Amino acid sequence: MHLTQSPLCHTASASRSVAAARMKTVGARASFYFGYWFSHWRA
């Protein structure tokens, strides 16, 4: 039972870290595009 639970836990943590990294990349890209658009809109 322990042998089947360990890989499942490892996969869940790995997918969670991948999702967190993806959200960080999307957030950084969105903030970059917003700053770019805002600076051009004000000029």
Domain range annotation of the chain: 1-43
Predicted TM-score (pTM) of the model is 0.48
| Dist. CA 24–CA 5, nearest whole Å | 29
Q: Name the pLDDT band for 5 (thresholds 50, 70, 90).
A: low
pLDDT at 3: 55
pLDDT, one tens digit per residue, over 17-38 is 999 999 999 999 999 999 999 9
Residue 41: predicted pLDDT: 85
2 token code pair: 């322990």
User: Residue 2 pLDDT > 60, yes or no?
Assistant: no
3-state secondary structure the chain: CHHHHHHHHHHHHHHHHHHHHHHHHHHHHHHHHHHHHHHHHHC
